Structures are given as structure tokens and as C-alpha cells.
């Protein structure tokens, strides 16, 4: 059986269990009301999520407790997992009406795995009346958001005429799309082999065209691959840059010049390679607001008015990936000037070394707050012509006060911003937070 994977399940690839210290840190965040931490803490008590079996450390009651806290804050991931507990009777009595209610809440927020779960429930008649029409509807919605499991199921429906008219070209299309993901790759490949001989060359060509032209519903991201390095797409990005999350529901910031000519934008995240959409831009100040689906670790944005000359700043980004690789890179330096080139008040001059690909990265202070967005280097050719020497570490960042002004025009985002940190953190913690929020931007 193939099954959906959430951002939290992917943690299992990195660690099968939490250390005592990690649990304490996670619980502290959860107790302060962090919905993402609450949901992740629920995961830590449910070892089936990580290990695939009921271990001696599993505590479903505690899982439900933390899932509910996240769900009652409107967190789609918490709603999804709480629904599963009600459906399976894990940690509380089985309750079909509650399972359906919470799945629907998550599904209505665009949670693809909740939509896929509803598709399975309606097909089996589990907790809801059996209905292939309803099952098809929910699989279709999840597939439109890039859920490979739902795409595979739609392929099966069209191949076998379950709730829809048999259409092998449509089946072929959905199998081709599902094959791009690790979640359904093997099963989809087998089905492609099964129907390949039944299709004419023109039908196969049409199925491939439909798959290539597939557009995601309402611009929502599609999970393409487990790893950006192993993705099977032959399409190469035109450019790369950096971005960072500012809300836990997937809004993020980069430079306008990074995405200016993009027909498609993809992000390399801890959840794999996902698509993002450009929501709004401020071309004059080189800012772009993007949106991806999922739950992420955002950075707080502070006003830049209080930043002092000589203050320590850092950025985590993805410079020159063709030469340096895809791992995130740290750069540390100081505020070299409170104005940019030609005393432009919109920028800081920064001494930390940056390269092409760092553009769009968060410039964070000693408290882990965003105070700028890495944007540019001093033009080496112009400096050489003017002074006879090349510049060294003369770089610029857009001030965060301009970012905050930009976000005021998008109230649904500005209302979700984290409160700035008011106490200094260890440099290691600052870097850890910056790394968690940073993503590689691929522009097509």
C-alpha cells in the first residue's frame, strides 16, 4: 500500500527518535503555543509515525493531546493527524463523525493528504457513505495540489472505470505525474507498463502532453521529488537564489530580481522539492513575496531602524550551487554602513562575503531577527574602472523596514508574522534558526 507523507513524517529519514534534550526543547515551544511544535511533539509520542510499528514508547493519549492543541489553533497538520486518531481509535475512542470533521477542516485548508484520506474513506465507505463520486472529487483535489498518491489513484480510476468513464489516456497522464514522486513511483511505473501496449503512439504522445501541461489547482505547490539531486526532471533551472520563510504556513521572501523572469519557481526544502507561486512584488525595493504549501519554521522580522554601525550580522544561503554544492552556506560579518552605494538609504552595506545565489537570503542580527535581505554586490567592473582596484566584501542588503512596509499591503501575511526576539541568542542558535528557514530557489 502506498501512503501520503507529511513534512513531519520526513523527519523519520533523519532520525528515528528524539533525544531527551530535543524533546525538552520541543515541549517548551509547544507549551508556549507553537502549533508546529505541538503537532511535532504529538508525532514524537506516536512512534508508529516514525518506525512503522507500535513501539513500547508509543503514547497515543499524549499524541492526541498535542494534536488537538495544534488543531484547535487551526493548524491543518494538527487537524489531519487528529482526524487519523479518531478514525483509527488511537488514544481516544473511535469516532467517525469527528474523523470526518477534522479531515474536512484540514482538506478545506488545502491539506492534500487530508483530501487523499477522504478519497480513501469514501471509496471504502469508512466513516462516511460509500461514494466513488465523492472519492473521485477528493482524489482530484489532492492530485491538483501535487499529491502523488492521489494522482496514482486517479490513474487507477481512469484505467478501471471506477466512478469515471474509462480513459486510458487520462490514466496514462496521471501515472506519469505520480511517477515523478518517490511516494508512488514503483506502483505508477508498473501501471504504465501494464497499459503501455494498449495505447497507440498518438495516445501515448497525448498523455505525455497532458502531463507536461498539467497545471496545479490555484497555483498550489506540487511535491515533485524526495531529493532535488535525484529528481527525474530533465529541465534545468535558469537561475538560483535564496529565500526564507516568514510565516509557518509557507509565505517566504526573496529578491524581486531572483524571480523577475520566472515562468516557474521551485524550492528545495526539508520536505523535498516543491513549487512556489509569486504572490506580490516590490520591484523598486527588490522584494518578492512567495507562497508554498506546508508548515515551515519562519524567522521573525524586526525593524531595521535600531541597527547600529558595526553590528554583527549573518546569512545562510545557497551561493554558486554549481561550484559549491546544494548544502546551505553561512556567512558572517558586520554592518559596514547604514547606507548603500551612493548613500542609498534603502540599503545596508555589509562586510559578510556573498556570492551569486545568496540573493534573497535573510540578514539576521544577534537575536536571530531579520534586519535585511541580501541583495547585491558592489559592481566589480565599475569599481575597477573608478579606483583601479577590485572591491573586497562590499555587499548590500535591503533594510527590513522596507520589507515590513511592503508586507503591510498584504494584511493576511503581516498578521501572521512572528514577534521579534527581544533577547540575544547564542550564535549557534541564530544560525540554526536561519538555516531552518532558508531554502534554495530554483527559477525556470
Per-residue pLDDT tens digits for 210-249: 888 775 433 333 333 333 333 334 456 888 999 999 999 9
Q: What is the mean pLDDT of residues 368-381?
A: 85
| Percentage of the chain lying above the pLDDT 90 cut | 50
User: Which candidate, 334, 285, 286, 340, places its Cα nearest to that of 313?
Assistant: 334
> What's the confidence (pLDDT) of residue 5?
40
What is the per-residue DSSP string for 180-246?
A: TSTTTHHHHHHHHHHHHTTS-HHHHHHHHHHHHT---GGG---EEES-TTT-------SEEEEEEES
Across the chain, what does the average pLDDT equal? 83
Q: Does pLDDT of 107 surpass 50? A: yes
Most confident of the following: 52-56, 192-196, 252-256, 281-285? 252-256
Q: Does pLDDT of 92 surpass 60? A: yes
Q: What is the mean pLDDT of residues 296-307?
A: 95
User: Which candidate, 346, 341, 337, places its Cα nearest to that of 308?
Assistant: 337
> What's the confidence (pLDDT) of residue 265?
94
Hey, is 296 helix, strand or coil? coil
| Dihedral angle sign, alpha carbons of residues 375, 380, 381, 382 | positive
Domains and CATH numbers, the chain: 9-212 (1.25.40.10), 221-444 (2.40.10.120)
pLDDT bin (cut points 50, 70, 90) of residue 320 is confident
What are 389-426's pLDDT values in tens digits? 656 778 999 999 999 999 998 999 999 999 999 988 89
CA distance 23 to 316: 26
Q: What is the largest CA-CA distance in the chain?
A: 78
The whole-model pTM stands at: 0.50
| Percentage of the chain lying above the pLDDT 70 cut | 83
What is the per-residue DSSP string for 367-417?
A: TS-EEEEEEEE--HHHHHHHHSS--SS-EEEEEHHHHHHHHTT-HHHHTTP
**Main-chain dihedrals φ then ψ at residue 382, nearest 5 degrees:** -65, -40
Name the burial class of residue 19, with classes exposed (0-12), middle (13-18) and buried (19+) by CB atoms within 10 angstroms of its CB. Answer: exposed
> What's the confidence (pLDDT) of residue 381?
56
Is pLDDT larger for residue 276 or for residue 237?
Answer: 276
pLDDT bin (cut points 50, 70, 90) of residue 164 is confident
Q: Which residues contact 204 (CB under 8 A, 6 or more apart)?
A: 172, 196
Name the burial class of residue 106, with classes exposed (0-12), middle (13-18) and buried (19+) by CB atoms within 10 angstroms of its CB. Answer: buried
Q: Does pLDDT of 307 surpass 90? A: yes
Q: Does pLDDT of 17 surpass 70? A: no
Residue 393 CB-half CA count within 13 A: 11
CA distance 81 to 114: 9
pLDDT bin (cut points 50, 70, 90) of residue 304 is very high
Amino acid at each position: 500500500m502506498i501512503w501520503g507523507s507529511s513534512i513531519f513524517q520526513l523527519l523519520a529519514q533523519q532520525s528515528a527518535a528524539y533525544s531527551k534534550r530535543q524533546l525538552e526543547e520541543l515541549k517548551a515551544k509547544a507549551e508556549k503555543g507553537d502549533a508546529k511544535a505541538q503537532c511535532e511533539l504529538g508525532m514524537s509520542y506516536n512512534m508508529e509515525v516514525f518506525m512503522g510499528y507500535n513501539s513500547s514508547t508509543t503514547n497515543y493519549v499524549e499524541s492526541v493531546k498535542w494534536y488537538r492543541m495544534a488543531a484547535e489553533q487551526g493548524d491543518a497538520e494538527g487537524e489531519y493527524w487528529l482526524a487519523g486518531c479518531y478514525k483509527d481509535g488511537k488514544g481516544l475512542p473511535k469516532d467517525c463523525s469527528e474523523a470526518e470533521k477534522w479531515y474536512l477542516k484540514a482538506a478545506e485548508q488545502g491539506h492534500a493528504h487530508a483530501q487523499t484520506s477522504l478519497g480513501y474513506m469514501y471509496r471504502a465507505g469508512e466513516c462516511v457513505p460509500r461514494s466513488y463520486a465523492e472519492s473521485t472529487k477528493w482524489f482530484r483535489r489532492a492530485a491538483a495540489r501535487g499529491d502523488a498518491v492521489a494522482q496514482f489513484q486517479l490513474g487507477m480510476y481512469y484505467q478501471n472505470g471506477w466512478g469515471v468513464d474509462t480513459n486510458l489516456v487520462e490514466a496514462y497522464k496521471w501515472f506519469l505525474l505520480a511517477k515523478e514522486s518517490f511516494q508512488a513511483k514503483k506502483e505508477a511505473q508498473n501501471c504504465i507498463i501494464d497499459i503501455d501496449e494498449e495505447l497507440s503512439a498518438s495516445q501515448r504522445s497525448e498523455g505525455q502532453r497532458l502531463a507536461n501541461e498539467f497545471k496545479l489547482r490555484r497555483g498550489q505547490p506540487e511535491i515533485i521529488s524526495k531529493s532535488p539531486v535525484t529528481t527525474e526532471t530533465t529541465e534545468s533551472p535558469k537561475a538560483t537564489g535564496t529565500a526564507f520563510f516568514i510565516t509557518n504556513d509557507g509565505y517566504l521572501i526573496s529578491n524581486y530580481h531572483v524571480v523577475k523572469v520566472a515562468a516557474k519557481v521551485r524550492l528545495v526544502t526539508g520536505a523535498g522539492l516543491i513549487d512556489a507561486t509569486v504572490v506580490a512584488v516590490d520591484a523598486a525595493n527588490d522584494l518578492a513575496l512567495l507562497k508554498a504549501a506546508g508548515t515551515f519554521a519562519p524567522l521573525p522580522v524586526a525593524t531595521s531602524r535600531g541597527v547600529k554601525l558595526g553590528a554583527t550580522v549573518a546569512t545562510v544561503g545557497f551561493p554558486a550551487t554549481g561550484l559549491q554544492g546544494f548544502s546551505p552556506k553561512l556567512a558572517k560579518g558586520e554592518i559596514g554602513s547604514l547606507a548603500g552605494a551612493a548613500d542609498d538609504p534603502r540599503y545596508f552595506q555589509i562586510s559578510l562575503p556573498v556570492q551569486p545565489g545568496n540573493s534573497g537570503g535573510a540578514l539576521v542580527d544577534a537575536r536571530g531577527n531579520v534586519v535585511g535581505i541580501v541583495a547585491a554586490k558592489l559592481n566589480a567592473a565599475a569599481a575597477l574602472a573608478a579606483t583601479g582596484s577590485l572591491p573586497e566584501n562590499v555587499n548590500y542588503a535591503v533594510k527590513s523596514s522596507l520589507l515590513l512596509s511592503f508586507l503591510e499591503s498584504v494584511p493576511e501575511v503581516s498578521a501572521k508574522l512572528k514577534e521579534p526576539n527581544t533577547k540575544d541568542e547564542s550564535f549557534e542558535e541564530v544560525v540554526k534558526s536561519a538555516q531552518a528557514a532558508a531554502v534554495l530557489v530554483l527559477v525556470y
